[in-house]
Structure 1
Amino acid sequence: MTDDRRMTTDRFYGGVDGRLDILATLLNWIDETEPTEEAVHDWILAETRARSRDAVGKHLGFIAALELIESDDDTVTIGDAGARWLTDRDPRIFYETLTANVKGFETLLAAFSERGELTDDDLRDILVDAFDEAQMETAGPAARHREWLQALGFVARDDGVNTLTLTGAQLASEQRAEMGEPPDADDSAPDGVRSGGDTSPTRRTRAVTRVQRDQSLVDTLKSLYANRCQLCGDRRQYDQTTGFSHVHHLQPLGAPHDGPDVTANMLVVCPNHHADLDHGLVAVDPESLEITHAYADAETNATLTVVDEHELGAAYLRYHSQERVELGES
């Protein structure tokens, strides 16, 4: 039987964390008003960080391909899949819609279940090996698959490494059962308790290759800013006296970015803004150092703090804005 599903996905507005909320709001509005296609474009341009009408059309085309919306004689209505998902916003219903129309999600879920930790490059290799039409020179297309799994709560991402969440592991187990594969030994145990009443955690040995960072550079930079976030000035603390901050690499060290481990490529940030930077929700102008934030309007137009001793590289700010930021497209 011919598999006519598409190979690639598109993002939607709101980044990984916000896209389902924006999508649900859009679908509810479409269900209530049955707008024209032009009105839907106008709504997205007004309610999100979208800037390009052409890009809006591309993203709406993907949503239509998932049967979340339908268009007939220039009138847009909610599709059957959209109506089913909106009933209680069950992530499994959305996952079924994705798998019914896009190749690769089941393949990735099975790979996570078997191998545990996977980078976006690993995901690309898995898709390329599984599908002849998966022509992916970079990890970007595979990352878009991962982002949907992440948005649905099935995959978690930390420091460039992706793993299944508990609900993702449960879904993968059910998927294996549907395919007639034996479940893991612990899959049938209720309420998180494994067979035989054993409640000790399962331990597995894995070989994981990670980029070795120069901790002395990190410590020096944190000291320059006294652990204060360069974006908002917030200083988190371990206790009443000890400061706490993160350091973000604008051009990530790992593949496919292969950025350098130098202070010119680093920002000292609070945990919240570290997550926002990782999700592509913050951009900094390389020349003016003006900040643009996807959802925190109070921070937009503020200026990044840079002390004299920190020679921040404009090229790395530019790389982040061009390669990582989703302000206009998600």
Structure 2
Amino acid sequence: MQQKERIKKHILLKHHKNTKFRVENNTHASRHILNKYHNDTIFRNEIKTRSKIDILNKYHNNSDFRTQYKARSKQQVSKKYKSDPTIRLKTIERAMNWYHKNNTLMRQSSRRLYKQRRRILKKYTVRQSHKCADKHRNLHMNNLNRFRQIIREGPDYICISCRLALFRNQEHIQSYFNYSSTIEKKWICKLCSDKIKKRQMPSRAIVNKLKVCEVPSELKKLNNLEKHLIALRLPFMKIVNLTSGKVSSRFAQKGTKGPLHCVPSDVQDTVTTLPRAVDKSMMVRLQLKRRLKYKAVWEEQLINPNNVRDALFILTKMHPAYKKLLAQSLAGLKM
């Protein structure tokens, strides 16, 4: 034992004093340790665990070493991420897998906030759609109520200028005419009122040669089919009531439905084909069709050829469109 201690002391003194020996001893020891590290697995694992423990202790205890280690590791990671595409793809894939698999509080809070935003947006859009629907519904109901208020009374207000029967909202109570003899109210339409205020003649006034003449008795006594026989054009249309409910069909507003056909009629051919009237009371059964080749009958009625003749004579004197009828065609109907 004394011999070993004496040898150790001698080697230590030589190691401290002789530099050449110290260098040779260090190189020999490092080579021996490297060879043992590469060949002996147990020794290598012990060195690794010891070094990891030393680094962890130094990392937790020494703040300067900790900051330097963080900065150095960040630089190395960013450099590898930018230069190596495989590492970059692996990092992205690892982050995605971690987000999908790891159910941490951060992921739960982010998912909760996302669902909350979606719920608020959905509630806002539904509320806005309901508001728009209510607004349009209220607007429609207001317009409908206003229209019903307007047509509550029929077109019973007659303008004193043009004699048109209009609704109440289309008329004014005249205030610039003095009718001391009458107590009843006088009505005037807006168009005539504006023209009179400008001291102009209304274009549709009765005094502007637009007075409706009285219908002659020869035309009054004609029935529907006789009127159709002497008409220059026959309109075919379907007329329906626009309003329903308490208003009767007589006073309801009318409107057309479906196609409208206007068929020209040759009155001269009609006059020549009518049978000669033997007596004033002679009646003929007649059928009216849209076209002769059609089987369906539009109207069927008894007519008096004598009444048709008298009405045509009156129309040739009054209406310019009937003056082209030949005199002999009309004379053929005479008794």
Which range, TM-score by smaller chain?
under 0.3
Q: Which has the higher contact order (CA 8 A, sep 6+)?
A: 1
Which TM-score applies when normalising by structure 2?
0.17
Higher helix fraction (1 or 2): 2
Which TM-score applies when normalising by structure 1?
0.18
Look at both structures and tell me which one has the larger radius of gyration over its CA atoms. 2
